[in-house]
């Protein structure tokens, strides 16, 4: 069955391999050379790690330039997909993640994990739950033959909402779990990793679309795509380097953190995908709409966790486990979406 892989470049086709290699390099380097990563961890300004910030910018800024905010007006042609995305991303996902996290870390794992550490792990997965994907979803959309323009609209609206919703929802849920959160760190993180890249991306795109400019958005994306790839792989190496010794010494702990993240991922996808099916949303819109909420803007979650709790904290470890889980989890969901495309198309035809 056609799955969209023929439209992907070598990086996207072998995404699992590249991410796996980066994880392996990061864990090995972190375990063998902890002093090197400790020095990187100390490079901070106002509780923001400079190296992490630079690498995240390398990854997300070129993608922000691709977002066309003028296309938001087109949602009136098919609003159901956007409705599902918004409800799942902001009305369901953060709260279901918090509830699942509380269930596991405060009850199921209560006799295995120290309460203070459990609270940090819970904080990390809550931050993941409040950060729906803004970048990797383009790859998942391609792999399911998703509508690229509609996916852009979904990401555009999601990013605009994230600028105002991430900090208060994260603060609310962390407060419920009795974790003190300095608002300044949350606001600074949203500004650095969402607001500023969005605004600069918009300005660069506007400059590139000027009729007098021969350097198009497509040319920009082609030339700067390697930066996004380098940024993604580098951030994976760095993050796993920070936690390399813990991952090697405590594999059972990694599994325990991964379990609620996996459950959350499948739960969110099933709910969103079923809603799209019942609403007769076309598959090329339904697949990205369901995947955008399942995937995470882990760069933001990791950066906030590091800023709030520190590089070697349990919260930072939990967000790193989110990276470990994400690619294999999302690939299984891409497979499921492709396998069920025919059912969506048949239902769509019967409604027309």
pLDDT tens digits, 158-169: 888 888 888 889
CA angle centred on 173, ends 170 and 178, rounded to 5°: 115
pLDDT digits (tens, 9 = 90+) for 34-67: 888 888 888 877 667 788 888 878 777 777 777 7
246: tokens are 């813990």
| Residue indicated by tokens 């795109």 | 205
| pLDDT band at 213; cut points 50, 70, 90 | low
Question: How many structural domains compose the chain?
Answer: 1
CA angle centred on 180, ends 294 and 111, rounded to 5°: 70
Range of the domain at 203: 5-351
| pLDDT band at 272; cut points 50, 70, 90 | very high
pLDDT above 90 covers a percentage of the chain that reads 20
For residue 86, is pLDDT > 70? yes
CATH of the domain at 51: 1.20.1530.20
Nearest to 330 by CA among 299, 302, 284, 294: 294
Cβ neighbour number for residue 175 with a 10 Å cutoff: 11
Q: Look at 7 and 91; give whichever has higher pLDDT.
A: 91
């Amino acid at each position: 069955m056609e799955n969209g892989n023929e439209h992907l470049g070598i990086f996207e086709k072998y995404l699992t391999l590249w991410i796996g290699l980066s994880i392996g390099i990061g864990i090995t380097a972190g375990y063998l050379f902890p002093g090197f990563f400790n020095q990187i961890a100390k490079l901070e300004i106002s509780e923001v790690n400079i190296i992490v910030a630079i690498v995240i910018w390398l990854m997300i800024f070129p993608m922000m330039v691709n977002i066309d905010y003028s296309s938001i007006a087109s949602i009136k042609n098919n609003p159901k997909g956007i409705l599902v995305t918004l409800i799942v991303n902001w009305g369901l996902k953060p709260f279901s993640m918090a509830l699942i996290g509380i269930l596991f870390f405060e009850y199921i794992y209560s006799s295995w994990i120290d309460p203070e550490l459990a609270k940090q792990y819970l904080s990390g997965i809550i931050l993941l739950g409040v950060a729906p994907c803004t970048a990797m979803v383009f790859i998942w959309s391609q792999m399911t033959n998703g509508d690229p323009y509609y996916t852009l609209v979904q990401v555009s609206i999601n990013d605009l909402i994230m600028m105002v919703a991430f900090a208060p929802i994260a603060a609310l849920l962390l407060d419920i779990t009795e974790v003190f959160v300095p608002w300044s760190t949350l606001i600074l993180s949203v500004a650095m990793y969402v607001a500023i890249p969005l605004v600069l991306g918009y300005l660069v795109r506007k400059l590139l679309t000027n009729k007098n400019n021969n350097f198009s958005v497509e040319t920009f994306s082609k030339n700067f795509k390697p930066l996004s790839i380098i940024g993604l792989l580098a951030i994976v190496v760095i993050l796993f380097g920070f936690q390399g010794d813990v991952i090697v010494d405590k594999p059972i702990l990694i599994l325990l953190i991964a379990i609620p993240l996996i459950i959350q991922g499948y739960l969110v996808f099933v709910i969103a995908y079923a809603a799209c099916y019942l609403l007769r949303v076309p598959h090329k819109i339904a697949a990205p709409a369901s995947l955008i909420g399942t995937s995470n803007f882990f760069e933001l979650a990791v950066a906030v966790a590091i800023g709030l709790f520190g590089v070697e904290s349990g919260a930072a470890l939990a967000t790193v486990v989110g990276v470990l889980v994400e690619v294999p989890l999302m690939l299984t969901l891409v497979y499921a979406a492709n396998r069920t495309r025919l059912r969506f198309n048949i239902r769509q035809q019967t409604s027309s």
